[in-house]
Amino acid sequence: MHRRNPFIVLLVMVGITNSAMAQPQAVISRWDRDSAMAAVASVDIDSAINDIGDLEALKTIELRNDWPLPAREAALYKYTQSLAALRRDAVAIDVMRYLGSYQAQVLVPHEDHGDAAIPLFNIRGAAAGVENGWIRAESSAQAQQLLVREPTALVAKYLQSANPAQRSGFRDALAVASDTEVQAVQAMAMSQLGKSPELTGLLAVTAVLTADSDAIHLLLTQGSGSGLATAFGALGSASDPSATAALLEFAIEQAPADNAALAIAAWWPGLRHDAASRQLLLSKLSDPALGSAVALALAGQPDIQTIRELQQIAAGESLAARRAQLALNINHDDLLAEVRK
């Protein structure tokens, strides 16, 4: 007679118990978008959402056989989105765990790639968005307190964090900080940008708030990352045209090509009637690094003088001529309309 190992028996029992408690495997269902949305509209999901109070209520909606599947997932999705208006401590942990691990079952064709299927209601993504919103708000509150006590410490805190939502919260706090606090953070960020380019986003926020030319010049020459384009756009909106024109000249003459191209794209639209800025850009059509960016910028909503200048340059065979022709070709119909005015 063989004796059973009690440890193995225990493991088997635990496995059986866990399997019984697990949610049933999600069954993927493919729909066309219009039919799925019609199914959503066939029931009153808002009333059900208002009645959700705990995890069991969520599970009840998930398993409602009297509702089409798209309506069930629409209700879960809308409920998840509504949590963003609440504080973290107002939402049960098991509710967020459930929503954060929910596997979408209703798939529809991707709008641009019909062969690919995507969730109609990305409940897991919505839950992640709610979580990131909480992190951002909490981080902003923490940073506001830190700014009052020791403003420069925010720079170290920013560098220590690898969480994008947390860093966003730190940047948000600067919007309600005092001028002295913002300037202290700016000075510290400027001193460390060379060895810590990830401070670009933080410095960019301070530069928009202070309009400090040294900070902006440093962003142009040493800044990097996705936040630069947004920062340059904000700086262009906040500065008067003469200041923006001076910054554009600095960017073209002294910034790395990638940063200068971002500055051109951000600032030229507001300067397109400025003769000096126009001539500066036209003179750079032959520049190996910047010429294409200049051509693209000049093609956007040009005035009649810019069009005439481009036409004159395009008559030749040089690199500048080819790029001028490129600018004329990009928005050909818009250019013709401008000429005919």
At 239 the pLDDT is 86
Cα gap 199→214, rounded to integer Å? 15
Closest Cα to residue 53, out of 87, 95, 13?
95
Tracing tokens 């009840």 back to the chain, one arrives at 60
Tracing tokens 């002295």 back to the chain, one arrives at 180
Question: How does residue 12 score in pLDDT terms, banded at 50, 70 and 90?
Answer: very low
At 173 the pLDDT is 98
User: Is the model's pLDDT at 19 over the cut of 60?
Assistant: no
At 16 the pLDDT is 36
Angle at 153 between CA 151 and CA 159, to 5 degrees: 125
Q: What is the mean pLDDT of residues 84-106?
A: 96
> The pTM is what?
0.81
Residue pair 74/41 in contact (Cβ under 8 Å)? The answer is no
Strand order in the sheet with 117-119: 29-30, 106-109, 117-119
At 115 the pLDDT is 81
Q: At what angle do helices 55-62 and 93-100 cross, to 10 degrees?
A: 30
* Amino acid at site 320: A
* Amino acid at site 340: R
Model confidence pLDDT, tens digit, residues 25-67? 567 889 999 999 999 999 999 999 988 989 999 999 999 999 9
At 266 the pLDDT is 95
Cα gap 143→174, rounded to integer Å? 8
DSSP 3-state of 118? strand
Kindly state the tokens that stand for 289.
């690094």
Number of other residues whose CB lies within 10 A of the CB of residue 80: 27
Query: If you count them, how many residues does the chain have?
Result: 341
Cα gap 268→284, rounded to integer Å? 13
Model confidence pLDDT, tens digit, residues 259-289? 999 999 999 999 999 999 999 999 999 999 9
